[in-house]
Structure 1
Amino acid sequence: MKILLVCAGGMSTSILMKKMESFWKEAGEELDIKAVGLAEYQDVYQNYDIVMVGPQVSYRLKEVKENTGLPCAAIQSFDYAVANCPNIMKLAQKLYAEK
Structure 2
Amino acid sequence: MKKILLLCNAGMSTSMVVKKMEESAQAKGIDVEIQAYGAETFQDHLNSYDIFLLGPQIRFKKAEFQAIANGVGKRVEVIDMMDYGMIKGDKILADTLKLMG
Scaled by the length of structure 1, the TM-score of the pair is: 0.88
% same residue: 34
The one-letter code matched in structure 2 to 1:77 is M
Correspondence for 2:84: 80
What residue ranges of structure 1 are gaps of 5+ in the alignment? none
* Equivalent residues, number: 97
What residue ranges of structure 2 are gaps of 5+ in the alignment? none
Q: Secondary structure at the match of 2:87?
A: coil
Correspondence for 1:37: 38
Write out the 4+ residue segments of structure 1 that deviate beyond 4 Å after TM superposition.
none
Scaled by the length of structure 2, the TM-score of the pair is: 0.87
Partners of 1:15 and 1:89 in 2: CA distance: 13
Partners of 1:91 and 1:18 in 2: CA distance: 16
Partners of 1:53 and 1:62 in 2: CA distance: 11
Q: State how 1:1-99 maps to structure 2 within 5 Å.
A: 1-69=2-70, 70-97=74-101
Q: RMSD over aligned Cα, in angstroms?
A: 1.3
Q: Does the 8 A contact of 2:4 with 2:32 survive in 1?
A: yes
